[in-house]
């Protein structure tokens, strides 16, 4: 199977087109309360301070003004709520408010009222507990009555299982109970970290997952909270509760609708022709994993089933990842130093390597404002890249690129290796000076202290291979210019560290120079693939001839 060059370029462009909105349109204010400093009698907690830091960082990144309150007694809770209400009212119409509480909370089993428990509750007497705690309904009623023009999100990460109250009284709390649902007001969403009546864990997973989802571009708020529900259930078995009535659409991280000229089709649709004819199970399995919920994923599964019916498993080329429970898991790549790796070679070790080239493609992002107007922005995405092809199959053995996006200072350094490489804990690369580069080509011992290492975080697997990237800092760019080669390290299915060599000669000229014509490059690359195809036919004819003799 041959891979079109545009697939590598398109995959990089796809990763580049996740855009946070530069202007969110509404005023956004958040009040985050983290209570953990309780008495031993009530039950200390470990994570609320960290929880509000995680949520606060996420909200700041999507345009919220954030008010932090930690270890608040009852008076401090009332003061913080009143200050928050004043700020919401001052933000004007269509403001967005986000109230988050992490700490102890419990239900009065007699009245069914939910309470947030302040840190200055020191006695376990039931009457004092409720009298000195803040009812959740007081918060929601004030938000609606005093800031009804805003859209409100109320998130209660409470009812922690460390609450130690057990005493009975006239308003008995025989066991701490989780919150009960409350009536939903229009314009307000209420989320609990766990199901009604249940207790939550104090491990901080809900806050971590919520923080990750808050910054996901293009996801509407209700769908975002539903994603949190699914992820929390999968991670720790809790069932977060969600309640809302009439709610306007809110996109915390903006509403980007990027359009890139090379990505007119869905990724599944665009890449299916590249795997449609293969009989390689590992490729079909990887494709199905990536696009399981599409019609093309269903076709990949159907083809897998048909292959397995027709042929014994041993007859089908297949790569499988070692089991997580294996007694001998694949070795993790060490941070330093990097030993001279086993170099991946083509069947024709000298064949073919393309030069470093710069290619640029126009791209457009489109952001819809609250009033329905659509704002478009056009820019260029440029790749200074190099790829090495298998001289017999045309498969990409390794690609490396520096991605530059017009108008952005930060650049990315990206690599791609063949499908089937394991990516945990991520890929790495080593930059080789001239003498070490010459030695490694001859499989001679090198001075590992001279190597400069790069750690690359996994980004995406697709039929062309697996990609990873890191920021291309000025120092990294200087190293790429000044040295002779780099080796991209990954781990194959058998646990062996494999190095993919990339020469750096020509990088500086391409990086500094003007982009080449993309159409001419595509023609030249197609001609190269045709030469490889012709070479394959010659080899096949020669093998048939030898078999007959």
For the chain, the distance separating the N- and C-terminal CA atoms, rounded to the nearest angstrom, is 29
Measured torsion, CA atoms of residues 21, 26, 27, 30, in degrees rounded to the nearest 10: -70
Measuring CA to CA, which residue among 330, 290, 338 is closest to residue 451? 338
Q: Which residues pair with 32 in a beta bridge?
A: 68, 100
Strand order of the β-sheet with 259-260 is 259-260, 357-368, 374-389, 396-405, 412-417, 465-471, 452-462, 427-432, 485-491, 497-503, 342-343
The CA radius of gyration of the chain, in Å to the nearest whole number, is 29
The closest of 363, 400, 358, 411 to 382, measured between CA atoms, is 358
Percentages helix, strand, coil for the chain (3-state, rounded to 5) are 35, 25, 40
Interatomic CA distance for residues 2 and 278, integer angstroms: 10
Q: Compute the residue count for the chain.
A: 549
Q: Is 416 exposed, middle or buried (0-12, 13-18, 19+ CB in 10 A)?
A: buried
Q: Count of CB atoms within 10 A of residue 535's CB?
A: 17
Condensed to tens digits (0 to 9), the pLDDT of residues 336-381 reads: 333 333 344 333 333 444 578 888 888 776 666 666 677 777 888 8
Contact yes or no for 359/521 (Cβ under 8 A): yes
The full DSSP string for 34-92 is E-----TTT---SSHHHHHHHHHHHHHHTT-EEEEEES--HHHHHHHHHHHHHHHHHT-
Query: pLDDT tens digit string along 449-469?
Result: 788 888 887 666 665 677 788
What pTM was estimated for this model as a whole? 0.47
Which structural domains are found in the chain, ordered by start? Answer: 28-244 (3.40.50.1460), 330-527 (2.60.40.1880)
pLDDT in tens, the chain (549 residues): 333 444 444 444 433 333 333 235 578 999 999 999 988 888 888 889 999 999 999 999 888 999 999 999 999 999 999 999 999 988 877 799 999 999 998 888 778 889 999 999 876 555 677 888 999 999 999 999 988 889 999 999 987 655 766 544 444 454 556 788 887 788 999 999 988 777 766 667 899 999 999 988 878 899 999 999 999 988 888 889 999 888 888 989 876 433 332 323 456 665 666 666 677 777 778 777 777 767 677 777 878 877 777 765 433 333 333 333 322 333 333 333 333 333 443 333 334 445 788 888 887 766 666 666 777 778 888 989 888 876 666 667 788 999 998 888 889 898 888 766 654 556 788 899 998 888 877 777 887 778 888 888 766 666 567 778 889 999 999 999 999 998 888 766 556 667 788 899 889 999 998 888 877 777 776 777 677 677 767 777 777 777 766
């Amino acid at each position: 199977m041959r891979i079109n060059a545009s697939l590598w370029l398109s995959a990089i462009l796809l990763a580049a087109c996740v855009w946070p909105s530069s202007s969110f349109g509404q005023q956004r204010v958040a009040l985050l309360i983290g209570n953990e400093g309780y008495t031993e009698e009530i039950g200390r907690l470990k994570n609320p301070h960290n929880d509000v830091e995680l949520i606060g960082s996420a909200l700041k990144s999507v345009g919220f003004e954030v008010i932090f309150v930690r270890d608040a007694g009852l008076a401090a809770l009332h003061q913080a709520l009143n200050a928050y209400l004043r700020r919401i009212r001052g933000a004007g119409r269509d403001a967005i408010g986000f109230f988050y509480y992490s700490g102890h909370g419990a239900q009065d089993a007699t009245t069914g009222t939910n309470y947030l428990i302040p840190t200055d509750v020191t006695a376990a007497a039931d009457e004092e507990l409720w009298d000195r705690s803040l009812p959740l309904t007081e918060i929601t009623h004030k938000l609606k009555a005093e800031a009804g023009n805003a859209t409100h999100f109320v998130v209660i990460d409470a009812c922690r299982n460390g609450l130690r109250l057990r005493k009975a009284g006239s308003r008995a709390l025989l066991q701490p109970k989780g919150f009960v649902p409350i009536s939903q007001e229009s314009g307000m969403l209420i989320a609990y970290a766990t199901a009604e009546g249940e207790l939550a864990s104090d491990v901080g997973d809900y806050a971590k997952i919520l923080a990750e989802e808050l910054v996901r571009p293009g996801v509407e708020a209700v769908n975002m909270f539903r994603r949190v529900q699914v992820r929390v259930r999968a991670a720790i078995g809790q069932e977060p509760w969600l309640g809302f009535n009439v709610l306007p659409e809110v996109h915390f991280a903006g509403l980007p609708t990027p359009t890139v000229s090379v990505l007119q089709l869905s990724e599944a649709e665009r890449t299916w022709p590249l795997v449609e004819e293969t009989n390689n199970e590992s490729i079909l399995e990887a494709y199905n994993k990536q696009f399981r919920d599409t019609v093309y994923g269903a076709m990949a599964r159907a083809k897998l089933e048909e292959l397995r019916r027709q042929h014994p498993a041993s007859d089908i080329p297949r790569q499988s990842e070692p089991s997580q429970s294996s007694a001998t898991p694949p070795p993790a790549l060490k941070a330093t130093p990097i030993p001279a790796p086993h170099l991946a070679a083509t069947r024709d070790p000298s064949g073919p390597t393309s030069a470093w080239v710069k290619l640029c493609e126009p791209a457009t992002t489109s952001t819809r404002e609250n009033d329905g107007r659509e704002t478009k922005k056009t820019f260029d995405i440029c790749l200074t890249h190099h790829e090495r092809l298998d001289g017999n199959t045309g498969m990409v053995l390794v690609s490396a690129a520096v991605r530059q996006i017009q108008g952005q200072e930060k650049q990315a350094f990206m690599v791609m290796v063949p499908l089937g490489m394991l990516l945990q804990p991520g890929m790495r690369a080593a930059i080789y000076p001239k003498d070490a580069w010459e030695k490694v080509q001859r499989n001679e011992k090198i001075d590992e202290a001279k190597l400069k290492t790069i750690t690359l975080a996994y980004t995406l697997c697709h039929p062309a291979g697996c990609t990873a990237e890191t920021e291309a800092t000025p120092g990294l760019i200087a190293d790429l210019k000044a040295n002779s080669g780099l080796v991209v390290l990954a781990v194959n299915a058998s646990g062996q560290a494999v190095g993919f060599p990339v020469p750096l000669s020509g990088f500086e000229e391409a990086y500094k120079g003007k982009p080449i014509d993309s159409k001419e490059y595509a023609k030249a690359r197609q001609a190269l693939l045709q030469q490889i195809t012709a070479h394959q036919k010659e080899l096949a004819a020669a093998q048939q001839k030898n078999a007959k003799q």
